Structure 1
Amino acid sequence: MPCVLGLDSSTQSLSAILLDLDAREAIADYSVDFDERLGAKYGVENGVLPNDDPQVKHSPPQMWLEALDLLLGDLKSQGVNLSQVVAVAGSGQQHGSVYLNPRGVTLLGQLDPHLGLADQLDGCFSRETSPIWMDASTWRECQEMTEALGGPKAVAELTGSCCFERFTGTQIRRFWKSETDDYDRTARIHLVSSFMASVLAGAEAPLDPGDGAGMNLMDIRTKAWSPAAIEACAPRLRSKLPPIAPADTVVGPIAPYFVEKYGFSPDCKACVWSGDNPNSLVGVGLVSSGKICLSLGTSDTYFGYMPEAQVDPAGEGHCFGSPTGAYMSLICFKNGSLARERVRDAYGMDWPAFSAALRATPVGNGGRLMLPYFDTEIVPNVLEPKVWRFGLDEADGPANCRAVVEAQQLSMRIHSRWMGVDSTTIYATGGASANREILEVMANVHNAEVYQFPVGNSAALGAALRAAHAWYKGNGDEQPWEQIVSGYAEPVAASRLAPDPASAAVYNELIPVYNACEDHALRGGPDPAPLQEAFRAK
Structure 2
Amino acid sequence: MSPGPLYLGFDLSTQQLKAIVIASDLKVISEAKVDFDADFAAKYHIKKGVQTNEDEGEVYAPVAMWVESVDLVLTRLKEKGCPMDRIRGISGSGQQHSSVYWSEHAESSLKSLDSGKPLLDQLSNAFAYEFAPNWQDHSTQTECDHFDTHLGSKQALADATGSSAHHRFTGTQILRMRRRRPEVYNKTARISLASSFLASLFLGAIAPIDISDVTGMNLWDIAGEKWNETLLELTATKEGVTELRKKLGDVPLDGGGSLGGISSYFVQRFGFSPECQVAPFTGDNPATILSLPLRPLDAIVSLGTSSTFLMNTPSYKPDPSYHFMNHPTTKGHFMFMLCYKNGGLAREKVRDKLPKPAGADPWGSFNKQVLETPPLDIRKDGDRAKLGLYFPLPEIVPNIKAGTWRYTCESADGSDLKESGDWGAEPDARVIVESQALSMRLRSQKLVSHPPKRPELPAQPRRIYLVGGGSLNPAIARVFGDVLGGADGVYRLDVGGNACALGGAYKALWALERHDADESFDDLIGKRWKEEDEIQKVDDGYRDGTFQKYGRVLGAFEELEEKILKVAHN
Q: TM-score, normalised by structure 2?
A: 0.86
Instruction: Compute the displacement of 1:145 (Å).
Output: 2.6
Matched, 1:293 2:300: yes
Is contact 1:83–1:265 with CA below 8 Å preserved after alignment?
Answer: yes
1:123 paired residue number: 125
Q: 1:309 to 1:55 in 2, by over 3 A?
A: same
Which range moved further: 274-283 or 30-39?
30-39
Q: What's 2:453 paired with? A: none
1:454 corresponds to:
494
1:415 to 443, 447, 470: 443
Distance 2:150 2:325 in 1: 22
The residue matched to 1:501 in structure 2 has which SS? coil
| 1:370 corresponds to which of 381, 384, 387 | 387
2-structure distance, mates of 1:233, 1:282? 32
1:488/1:50 CA distance change after superposition, 3 Å: farther
Q: Does 1:354 align with 2:362?
A: no
Bigger mean CA offset, 340-349 vs 455-464: 340-349
Extract structure 1 runs of 4+ deviating beyond 4 A: 474-480, 488-491
Q: Does 1:487 align with 2:529?
A: yes
Task: Give the equivalent residue in structure 2 for 1:467.
Answer: 508
State the shift of 1:455 in Å: 3.0
Moved more, 3-12 or 493-502: 493-502
| Separation in 1, partners of 2:43, 2:207 | 28
- The structural deviation recorded for 1:488 is 6.5
| Secondary structure, aligned partner of 1:238 | helix
1:112 is aligned to 114
Tell me the TM-score normalised to structure 1 length.
Answer: 0.91
Identify the residue that residue 246 of structure 2 maps to in structure 1: 239
Q: Indicate yes or no: 2:540 matched with 1:497.
A: yes
SS for the counterpart of 1:427 is strand
For 1:324 and 1:476, locate their aligned partners in 2 and report how far apart those are by CA, in whole Å: 10
Letter of the 2:328 partner, please give it.
P
Alpha-carbon distance in structure 1 between the residues aligned to 2:219 and 2:177: 15
d(CA) in 2 for partners of 1:52, 1:506: 44
RMSD: 2.3
Q: Does 1:249 align with 2:292?
A: no
Secondary structure (helix, strand or coil) at the match of 2:352 reads helix
Deviation at 1:218, TM superposition (A): 0.6
**Aligned residue identity for 1:374:** F
2:443 aligned with 1:431: no
Paired letter, 1:59: A
* Counterpart code for 1:400: D
**Partner Cα distance (1:284, 1:187) in 2:** 37
Percent of aligned pairs with the same residue?
A: 36
Task: Measure the CA separation in 2 of the matches of 1:256 and 1:435.
Answer: 46
* Segment of structure 1 superposing worse, 411-420 or 241-250: 411-420
Aligned residue in 2 for 1:223: 225
User: Conserved in 2, the CA contact under 8 Å of 1:58 and 1:132?
Assistant: yes
Alignment CA distance shift 1:218-1:439 (3 Å)? same
Note the C-alpha offset of 1:502.
2.3
List alignment gaps of at least 5 residues for structure 2. Answer: 358-362, 379-383, 410-419, 450-459
Partner in structure 2 of residue 444 of structure 1: 482
- Give, in whole Å, the separation in 2 of the partners of 1:114 and 1:466: 31
Cα distance change, pair 488–519 in 1 and its aligned pair in 2 (3 A): same
Distance 1:514 1:141 in 2: 31
Question: CA offset at residue 359 of structure 1?
Answer: 3.1
Alignment-mate amino acid for residue 96 of structure 2: Q
Q: Is the 8 A contact 1:368 1:390 kept in 2?
A: yes
Residue of structure 2 in register with 1:16 after alignment: 19
Distance 1:344 1:40, change over 3 A: closer
The corresponding residue for 1:340 is 347
**Once the 2 structures are TM-superposed, how far is the Cα of residue 193 of structure 1 from its aligned partner?**
1.1
Report how far residue 417 of structure 1 moved. 2.5
Write the distance in 2 (CA, Å) between the matches of 1:368 and 1:496. Answer: 23
Matching residue's letter, 1:275:
G
Structure 2 CA distance for partners of 1:365 and 1:254, relative to 1, 3 Å = same
Shift of 1:87: 0.5
